[in-house]
Structure formats: structure tokens, C-alpha cells
Chains A and B, each alone.
Chain A
Amino acid sequence: MSEKKQQVSRRQFLNYTLTGVGGFMAAGMLTPMIRMAVDPVLQPKKSGDLVAVVEVDKLTTEPQRFDWEIDQVDAWYESKVTKTAWVFIQEDDSILALSPICTHLGCTVSWEGNEEYPNQYYCPCHGGRYYKNGVNVPGLPPPAPLAVYDQDVKDGTLYLGKAISRKGA
């Protein structure tokens, strides 16, 4: 909610600034400068924000797939992006939320995506596989474990944020 408000005010702010400066050319030159100058203040920290994904009591020890949408802002525009996680409860009762993005070249992996490899995530592109905890099976294309989402549990709901790479881990 508060993000929405900030968005509007940021847009307004830019509008005012641009109008004030007057002239499209000048605006074109100035915008990047203004951006650099004010961005850290005005830009809501989306990447670090956690989003409610699922109630904890829906989770099991079997990885399940959950999808949610976020507003992604890059340098040019804002767009809705669907995020996906494989989430399950580990033996020590902690929750693990894994990114489905194969660390080889970025295809989407599925839990038990291939009948021949039960209990593993499977990448359909070049046969990459990962154990339940996301660690890559050695000797296959993926060079690193699946990334792990930043998480928080509040009032029985799991919130997920940014996927943190485990390359080199």
C-alpha cells in the first residue's frame, strides 16, 4: 500500500521536476542525473521486501510449488513478474524455500520432474538435478545449489523475499 503511494509521489515528483525544467531535451539530459541523485531516497526498496506467499500450516515435508506476483521495477518501467518457489519443512522443522531457477542456464526445475529421479528436482533442459535441499547433484551441468529465498514467518504466514544465490557456498 505505502509502496503505491510512494510510486505516485515519485512520478509526480519527476513530472514536476521535468515540467519545471521545461523542454524535452533538457529533461532527457537531466533525468538520469536526477535519478542518480534522488533514487536511493525515493525508490521503495522492493527487492528486499518480503511478500506473503502461503500459510505455514499448508506446508509439508514434501516440496510444494507456490507462485506469487511482485511488481518489479527496473531502470525503465514497472512490470508484474511471477515468482515461484519450492517450499517444504526440513527435518529440523525449519522452512526451506528454493528458487526453481536452474543454476546452469536458467530453466525452471521441478520437484520430481522426472520419474526416474524421485526425491530430486529435475531440470528438463540438460538433465540437471538437485537434492531435496537444493544442492546440485555433482557431475551434471548445474554448477551450484539452487538459490534460497529470504524468508520470514509472521502470524502463521510465510513471507518470501529475494532469492539468495549459493554459488561458491
Chain B
Amino acid sequence: MQWSKKDMEQYIGAKEYVDTVLIPLMPVVLAGNEELVKQAFQGELLNRFSQEVEVQFKGRIYLSPIYTYLASANKISEAERLKTWVDGIKENEPKHIFFFTFDPQWKKHEKNLDGTIIWIPAIQTGDIHSQETKDLLKQQTSQLTELILSYW
């Protein structure tokens, strides 16, 4: 399920079945031409990716709105802010909280977050609509769904 009226209406009646929350973590940059392009591409990928997983597990996963942060931000304070999301989400008593990210820096803050960081190696650049990217996405999605299944 995701952050839409329709899904949330279903969610509130089915919380005991939706025991897993996914939070995509997306860094943004605000300037620098090359970086803009690169981060935007990875942002698209992350979004697509989370959507794919949500489709597979719609009835058991709540895909949270994307958590965005400045790529340059201090991770310690960012982790604190993210923790406030986690604390809020925990009111729904999920059993599993996963964070999806291409940003390797999160891994070392995992223990402060009450969830599991799933770091996905990023595709550096490409075209989101190309067959190559689609195939890669498909592969990564199935690895990811396997991983989530192993936690259930």
C-alpha cells in the first residue's frame, strides 16, 4: 500500500496484515550540473524500484512517502530526523521497517534507526526507459523481494 487516500482507507482496516514498512531514502542536490543529473536519475530509479516492490507485496507492505534529504547534510542530524519518522510509524506497530537507499553512508547509522538499511548498489547513469535499465531493475527487484521474504 502507499500514501494515497484509497490505500490508506484500506490500510486502517487491515493494519494487522500490513506489518512491514518501506521508507525510501533519497538524497537531493540543489546545484551542480552533473550532480543534478546523476542524483535525479538515481532518484527516479529509487522511486521505480520502491514501486515495483510495492506492487509485489501490496497487501503486506506500506510504502512510505520518500524521505528526502540534502546529499550534503550531516548524517548524524539527518539520522535523528529520520528517527522521528520511524517513531511516528511505530505507532502502527509494524514488525519490520526497511529503508531503501543507494546512499552507502546510511549503513553506519543503522543501529540508531530501529530498522534495516537495505543498500542497493546504484546504477550510475543511464536511461530509465531503456531495456538495459529495465532488466537491471527487474533483477534487483527480485533480489530485494527475496531479501524481504527472508525477514518474514
Query: Which residues of A come within 8 Å of B, CB atoms?
Result: 102, 104-108, 123-126, 141
Contacts and interface: CB of A to CB of B under 8 A. Distances in A.
A104 B16 CA distance: 13
Contacts of A105: 1, 10, 14, 17-18, 58-60
Contacts of B55: 108
Interface range for B: 10 to 19
Interface string B92-105: 00000000000000
A85 to B, nearest CB: 14
A125 B148 CA distance: 11
A113 to B, nearest CB: 10
Interface of B: 1, 10, 14, 17-18, 55-60, 145, 149, 152
A126 B60 contact: yes
Contacts of A108: 55-58
Contact of A126 (B1, B10, B17, B56): B17
Contacts of B1: 105-106
- Looking at chain B's contact residues, the main secondary structure is loop
A125 B56 CA distance: 9
A82 B109 CA distance: 36
Contacts of A125: 17, 57-60
Nearest to B145: A124
B152 to A, nearest CB: 8
B55 to A, nearest CB: 6
A107 B56 contact: yes
A125 B57 CA distance: 6
Nearest to A104: B59
Given A125-B17, A126-B17, A106 B58 contact: yes
B17 A124 contact: no
Contacts of A141: 17
A104 B149 CA distance: 18
A125 B68 CA distance: 28
A112 to B, nearest CB: 15
A107 B145 CA distance: 12
Contacts of A106: 1, 58-59
5 contacts: A104-B17, A106-B1, A106-B59, A107-B59, A108-B56
Contacts of B57: 107-108, 124-125
Given A107-B58, A107-B59, A124-B56, 5 more contacts: A104-B59, A105-B59, A106-B59, A107-B56, A108-B56
Contacts of B58: 105-108, 125
A141 B145 CA distance: 21
Nearest to A141: B17
A146 to B, nearest CB: 14
Contacts of A104: 17, 59
A141 B18 CA distance: 13
A126 B10 CA distance: 16
